[in-house]
Structure formats: C-alpha cells, structure tokens
Structure 1
Amino acid sequence: MAIKVLRPVLLAAAAVLVLSTGLAVGADTTADDAYAAGSPVPAAEIPAAPGKTVSPVGALFANGSHFCSASVVHSGTGDVVLTAAHCVRNGMSFAPGYHDGVAPVGMWTVTGTTVAEGWTSSADPDLDFAFLTVRQPGNPASLESLTGANTLGVNRGFDHRITLTGYPDTTDSPVVCDGTTTRSDTYQMRVACPGFPDGTSGGPWVTGGEVIGVIGGYQLGGDTPDVSYSAYFDDDIAKLYATATG
C-alpha cells in the first residue's frame, strides 16, 4: 500500500532549528478501532479566511513539482507555515491557494525550518510536524496578511469534526474531506477520509479555525489513501512553535 509521501527527506543542518523534547514513541492503546468514513468536499468549497480571497492551505514545491501540503499558521510575523517533518527538504517553496496550475499570490521561498530533535535523530512519528519560515523577494507584505491563517490548537483532545485538505502529487488541485478524528495511539490521531494519496502529507486538520494536526505520523501519514494519521499536538509542538516564532 502507498504511504503519503515516498520521496527521501533531505535536511540541511544549517537551515534546521531543533528542540529537544524527550518524548518517547507512544505505546498501543485500547481505544475503540471503529471510525466512520468522512465525506469528500468539492475543492471549490475550500474556504478562505474571513476577509481574504486566497486559502491559507497550499502546496509545497521542490525541483519544479509539488510533493507535500502545508498551511499558514498564525504568528506575530505572519510568515510561518506548518507541515509534516517528513516533508522537509532543501530548495522548498510554498504556493498558498494553489489550484489548476495557478499560484494566486505567487511562490514563497522557504528560508528556515524548525523540526524537533527527536525527529532529526530518530524520525519519531510522534514528532512528525515542522514549521517553515517563508518570504517572497520584493514583496513587503507578510504571507498571513494575504491569506489569513489558522491558529495552532494544542492539547485539544482526540475526538473532533475536522476539515482535511491536501494536494495529491499527481493533480494540480486539492482534495478536501470533512471527517471525524479518533485516537489511534498514545500520541497519534486518525481520520477516515477517502482519496488522500502521496503528496497530501502536511495537509492541515482544521476545526473551528484551529489546526490540530497535519497528515503525517504513523507510516508517514498512513499506509492507505483512505485513512490518514497525525501526531497529536501537545506541549511538544507548542515548544517547537515558540522556537519557530521566538
């Protein structure tokens, strides 16, 4: 079965900030394995933030092709993007609101990455999240001022109704699904949403204007396109966010 992204991760040590968390891989739980499949949503219905015309969700590019998904997360500087740690590599750029081959506010160059030390040292799936800093040469505006942003939701529990968005690497438009999350492991969540294959890694799990997960974690986001996973957002991502925005 396919995983969410198959390409190798390349990390430039000089570009990566790390934070020691000491978090161990979660043990199995006895949570109920039953969960209902989510409902696909037409891509045209992807909402922009209030007062904005471009979605904060977009595609990550490298070497001319998009390979992962990401989204703008609120910050004081307005230049922070959230994705999965296994998506991080050299030479990335971000296209918010990307659709049908069009980047409505252009490409934004990734100038810095922040991942957890536990991911860098051992690819801990419970730490499969990353913050990116972006800029657009010659543009004095912040990215968030153009797209809006979701706020980071931390320690929100495991059961939510979410909107999941991602960019399959074989298409130029996003897939969207409304689904219900459940607990999969001590530090993992899952959601049954059909049609989230390679390229959708890093796609945000959004509820009530907060992003509470990204496609990643177990099996780099899942071993089937119809069930996606996320590392649970707890104090570890809060500390990482503080490092990225400090």
Structure 2
Amino acid sequence: MSTTHTARAHHERWLEISEYWTTERMAAAIPEDVPTMTEETPAPPSALPGAFKTTLVQNPATSSYYRRAGALFYVREGVDLQGSASAITHNGILTAAHCLYGSKVRKYPTKAAYVPGYRDLQEPLGQWPLFGEPVVPDAWKAQVNRAWDYGFSKVGLGGKNGFSVLGNVTGHFELLVDRPELREWDVLGYPAVAVPGYLFDGHRMWSCQGGFTRQPTLNTIGKEGNLTPGSSGGPWLIPGHPYANGVQSYDDGNLPGENFSPYFDSDVLKLYQKAFQS
C-alpha cells in the first residue's frame, strides 16, 4: 500500500473513532473490571502499606512528562469502558492486558482510542485510535494470570487533525526491565472509584508515589498506593524519570493501601519487540 493510501486509511480510522467517542460517551464509560483469579494465599506485606503520596495532576497535557500518559477508551461486548495507558514508543502504547484482551469476556476491544493528557472530558492533544491487533502474552490468554497482565498496541495517526504521529506530539516513556533492586515507583492513571479523601472520577489524572510492599507471587510486585479501577494500565515509573517499569494491574480488596503490577522481566521486552519491531 502506498504512503498516501496508508495515511488515508489511518485518517478514516481516526474519523470513525473520534466520531464515536463523544464527550457524552466518555462521561458514561465505566472503569474496566479488575481481574479476579484464584491463586495461592499471597505472601503478607513486609510492612503495613500506607506511606504513599497521591496527588492530582492539574494539567497533564502541558507537561512534557505527564502528557506521555493518558486515558484509554474502548468497547467490549457493546459496553463503553475506560482504563489508562501510556506512550511507550513513537507509535504505540503500554497498558494492562485485561484492557486489551478481557479477563472475563475474552475478546479484543473495538473502537479503542488513546487520549493523552485527558482531563475533564477534554482532549487537549486529540486522540489516537488503536491500529491493528493488540499484543498480549499467550500465557494471559491461556490462564488470565496477573503475572502476565501487560500488553502493547500500535496506534494509528491521530491527534487533533488525524494526521499526527503520537510520539511527535507527546514523546514517550522508555521500557525498563530486569531491575529487581527498584523499590520506589510513581504510578499515573485515571482511577474512577472514589475512596475517602480522594474524589476519583475517571476524568482526571492522578499520581501515586510509594515504595515496595511485597512480591505476592513469582512475577508480581506490590507498592504502596490507593488507585482504583479506571487506573488499570497506567504506567509504573521511576520517580522523576521517563522509564516505565510496571503497569497498574490490580489492588488487594482485603488490604487497602496497595497496588500491584506484573514484574517487568525479559518476557516483557520480548513482547515489546514482537509488538513494535516485527
């Protein structure tokens, strides 16, 4: 296909998705369910969690750091859903596998749009439609195990005019794997279920900084935090640096004050290469 035809296909896709995701649909989108799985009793935390710092990001689109993250809107089985994601390459995003291939309804989403810097039903940078089939671990499809709750997707041309490359507008985070010594993270996301003291509504970005709590299973990791459904897929970052070392996956309903991510190892890097370098 020629470059002209490719650009036209991308623009037509952008028109279709942007026409679907009106402010009314964004307002009504519900947070993606956090996956529930049967596992062995997890290891208790080494210390009681709670020393996290959760703050509202006022204007993410104006920051070269925060605008690399955003909200993810998509449809599954006719239901409008919302999660979180981040730019991880110039034309692709990182998010949770359960946003890209449901943990209950085992299907890829349709009409999916990534909206970086999203705030209060506004798209200050525009939106980018997911393009092509998302890539999630085969083990996630087979077992729906939290250790593999990560995935990637290419995005088409988008933005405000439908012809912009994502990375040219927002920049992107870098992937960081195989770093077991890391013990502090800053999680960005759009939590939609309010908790005491935090008016989470799914339409504002929050930053949640906290330290390591435990490794409940072989390839999962916990940190202090209180983000709720809707933040699924948001990046775990090295505080103050543009490196993604995890992704928001789930929380522990029996012990508030913790959030969990798959541990990012070489398998994550291999999936990244499959998604963007093949």
Same fold (TM over 0.5): yes
Runs of 5+ unmatched residues, structure 2: 1-30, 101-108, 193-200
Indicate yes or no: 2:54 matched with 1:40.
yes
Partner of 1:5: 32
Three-state SS of the structure 1 residue aligned to 2:261 is strand
Mapped contact 1:203–1:214 kept (Cα < 8 A): yes
Three-state SS of the structure 1 residue aligned to 2:67 is coil
Three-state SS of the structure 2 residue aligned to 1:135 is coil
2:242 to 209, 232, 246: 209
Return the TM-score normalized by structure 1.
0.78
1:188 to 194, 212, 220: 220
Partner of 1:60: 72
Indicate yes or no: 2:169 matched with 1:149.
no
Matches within 5 A, 1:60-139: 60-63=72-75, 67-74=82-89, 78-88=90-100, 89-112=109-132, 113-136=134-157, 139=162
Three-state SS of the structure 2 residue aligned to 1:238 is helix
Q: CA separation in 2, counterparts of 1:27 and 1:214?
A: 22
Identify if the C-alpha distance between structure 1 residues 221 and 129 changes in structure 2 by more than 3 Å, giving closer, same or farther.
farther
Q: CA deviation at 1:5?
A: 3.5
Q: CA separation in 1, counterparts of 2:34 and 2:49?
A: 29
In the alignment, residue 209 of structure 1 is paired with which amino acid?
Answer: P
Mapped contact 2:72–2:114 kept (Cα < 8 A): yes
Q: CA separation in 1, counterparts of 2:135 and 2:40?
A: 22
Q: Give aligned pairs, total.
A: 217
Mapped contact 1:221–1:230 kept (Cα < 8 A): no
Q: CA deviation at 1:34?
A: 4.0
Runs of 5+ unmatched residues, structure 1: 9-24
Identify if the C-alpha distance between structure 1 residues 221 and 245 changes in structure 2 by more than 3 Å, giving closer, same or farther.
farther
Select the structure that is richer in helix. 2
Mapped contact 1:61–1:92 kept (Cα < 8 A): yes
Identify if the C-alpha distance between structure 1 residues 33 and 226 changes in structure 2 by more than 3 Å, giving closer, same or farther.
closer
Q: CA separation in 2, counterparts of 1:176 and 1:151?
A: 18
In the alignment, residue 144 of structure 1 is paired with which amino acid?
Answer: G
Indicate yes or no: 2:64 matched with 1:49.
yes
Q: CA separation in 1, counterparts of 2:73 and 2:189?
A: 13
Deviation string, structure 1 residues 72-95 (Cα, Å, up to 9, x no partner): 013xxx111000000112221110
In the alignment, residue 94 of structure 1 is paired with which amino acid?
Answer: Y
Partner of 2:207: 176
Identify if the C-alpha distance between structure 1 residues 179 and 55 changes in structure 2 by more than 3 Å, giving closer, same or farther.
same
Q: CA deviation at 1:29?
A: 5.8
Partner of 2:20: none
Three-state SS of the structure 1 residue aligned to 2:155 is strand
Identify if the C-alpha distance between structure 1 residues 79 and 122 changes in structure 2 by more than 3 Å, giving closer, same or farther.
same
Partner of 1:13: none
Say what the alpha-carbon RMSD is for the aligned residues: 2.7
Q: CA deviation at 1:45?
A: 6.8
Deviation string, structure 1 residues 190-230 (Cα, Å, up to 9, x no partner): 11223x111110111111221001111xxx44436632100
Q: CA deviation at 1:30?
A: 7.9
Return the TM-score normalized by structure 2.
0.69
Mapped contact 2:118–2:204 kept (Cα < 8 A): yes
Higher-RCO chain (CA-CA 8 Å, sequence separation at least 6): 1
Indicate yes or no: 2:259 matched with 1:244.
no
